[in-house]
Chains A and B, each alone.
Chain A
Amino acid sequence: MKRYIDFYLTSMKIAILEQFQYRAQNYFYMVGVIVEPTIYLVVWSTIANQQGGSIGGYSSGGLAAYYIVWTLVRQMNIVFTPYGWEDRIQHGRLSMELMRPMHPIHSDVSYFAGWKFVMIILWIPIATALALIFKPILNPTWVQVLVFVVAIWGAYLVRTMIYAVLGLITLWTTRVSAIFELVFALEMILSGRFVPMTLMPVWVQHLAYYLPFQWTFFFPINALVGRSSSIELLTGLGMQLIWILIGILIVKIVWHFGIRRFSSVGN
């Protein structure tokens, strides 16, 4: 355990050192990411204003809070994608990672976790600018803040597991992008990324409750900006934990069979 803690801290430190080398690239990437919620925010704020100032329980200020918090949750949700798995297999990097006495997923989780600290530092001025422009209404309790801090890391781990499982498909087929795009589309609708889940039809909300996606976007955002009860907040954290454990189990099973298929020819 001590060795893993040491590894995670060292790998996170390496990620921070590396990503600071690419601060300009990271900033441009972040600006690109910010465009998406800004469009949603403008559209939904306009609709809310046309409907008398609120929609689905969200006022313009509430929507502004939702999408500004969204930008932070989105940064937390950046994980090693199936494209990364494709690339690491095609360029032979997986072979070198498999030589380590440690599952490659530990490298992915720790590296991207370290990267978050760089992104959060870069995010602060952008969030400040968005707050000045869109004037969010945000009055969380300390419990909400605490749950949010835990939930954004929970969201990161849930999403890591979803995309690790997809990434492992590359051990069978070197192209997984089509499946990735399909899951990505489902995530857009069922996670609260496109629109707060409370604005979706009730049956979609029920469906989303039993899938992992909303625990990666809607739950952490709503934990901070919504009016969830303590039970709802605890349930959300519990659902994240369940999905993380399910993800670990599936990754283990898929890995067990997939690694036997790994051919590594020429790499």
Chain B
Amino acid sequence: MQSPVIEVNNLSKHYRVPVREAGLKAATKSLFKRKYNTVKAVESISFKIDPGEVVGFLGPNGAGKTTTLKMLSGLLFPTTGTSMVLGYQPSRRQAEFLGQITLVMGNRSQMSWDLPALDSFELQRAIYGIPRPEFEKTRDEYIELLEVKELVRKPVRNLSLGERMKVEIIVALLHRPKVLFLDEPTIGLDVTMQRRIRLFVEEYNHRTGATVLLTSHYMADVEALCKRVIVIHNGKLLFDGDLAALLERFSAFKTICVTLANGNGSFSHYGEVLNQDAGHFTLRIPREKTPDITARILAEQKVEDLTVEDPPIEDIIEKVFSQKSVEA
């Protein structure tokens, strides 16, 4: 049995934040007596991730996702608890550890703004001490995979957001890290560019067997890449398991879309009709009744087309966030 690449035990991060009311009086008062609040950004979370896994780390804004990634990448010291990544304690920030991981933040750049990305790649080679033949092979491979041959010769400031993100990904992966922490890597990108980045991460995972922990507000990223998801909310872990199990557990209904050959029909006796328009019907059916209802519709109606779908994953995740109990 393989030992986990990432192991987190009761990890917490609390911040002590000064607070005061608005106005001059409160400001003066705070000079003599300061009040502090303790913000529990992450509260006693535990999980393990095996080598090669791609795990979606989900939660609303302020849930503690980025704080957790920062603790796992050695940027932040945890308040309590322990974590091990690749057998290293991240907070010790050993060079051997940092040389084997990467953290990509969708809104942060590692590149020189004024120079072509090729120059930033060269600096990255020197930082990580990558042997030149290996560096050139990796660089050219990534350039081809992401189709950025022309872009890497332009100053970074002249690239669009999507183009810049592609070269950011290259710069972050040149040293072939074994663990990828991806924090909103597709934020602000159009669907085509999101897909391209997603495919690249998938390809990287297949080729190198790297472990990926990904946060994203785009559920398409999660559905495409992650078999397993970890959901946190208010710093606490709400769910850790297969994405399919999450859908099963939190989605009580399925949606059946029917198109009739003759355009007329009545569906209210099958279940709740969500939409009805020129021979197209959308029904909401309890999950356990879906096989029966589908069979009945096919037998009783002149069906031209029929599809059974899970509700949008966004709706399910929202439902998970509303759960209060800690599940694992």
A residues whose Cβ falls under 8 Å from a Cβ of B: 3, 6-7, 9-11, 14, 17-18, 21-22, 92-93, 95-96, 98-102, 259-260, 262-265, 267
Contact = CB atoms under 8 A, between A and B. Distances in A.
Given A101-B98, A101-B99, A14 B123 contact: yes
Given A18-B112, A18-B115, A259-B93, A101 B76 contact: no
Nearest to B96: A101
Contacts of B101: 99
Interface stretch (B3-11, B102-110, B142-150, B308-316): B102-110
Contacts of A17: 115, 119
Contact of A18 (B75, B97, B102, B114): B114
B81 to A, nearest CB: 15
Interface string B25-47: 00000000000000000000000
Contacts of B75: 95, 98-99, 262, 264
Q: Which of B101, B102, B108, B125 has the largest number of chain A CB atoms within 10 A?
A: B108
Given A14-B112, A265-B15, A6 B126 contact: yes
Given A99-B102, A262-B76, A11 B96 contact: no
B127 interface: yes
Contacts, number: 76
B73 interface: yes
Contacts of B95: 101-102
Interface string B246-257: 000000000000
Nearest to A9: B126
B271 interface: no
A98 B15 contact: no
A22 B113 CA distance: 12
7 contacts: A11-B123, A18-B114, A99-B103, A101-B98, A101-B127, A102-B127, A264-B75
B218 interface: no
Interface string B200-222: 00000000000000000000000
Contacts of A263: 15, 76
A260 B98 contact: no
A99 B95 CA distance: 9
A11 B99 CA distance: 18
A133 to B, nearest CB: 35
B263 interface: no
A7 B70 contact: no
Which 8 pairs from chain A and chain B are nearest by CB? A10-B126, A101-B95, A101-B98, A3-B129, A101-B99, A7-B126, A260-B77, A21-B114
B184 interface: no
A264 B110 CA distance: 16
B70 A264 contact: yes
A100 B75 CA distance: 11
Given A259-B93, A260-B77, A101 B115 contact: no
Contact of B74 (A7, A10, A93, A98): A98
Contacts of A265: 15
Interface centre among A17, A93, A263, A264 (most CB of B within 10 A): A263
Interface string B111-134: 010110001101101111100000
A189 to B, nearest CB: 32
A12 to B, nearest CB: 10
A95 B108 contact: yes
A240 to B, nearest CB: 27
Nearest to B100: A101
A257 to B, nearest CB: 11
Given A14-B123, A18-B114, A96 B77 contact: no
A255 to B, nearest CB: 10
Contacts of B93: 98, 259
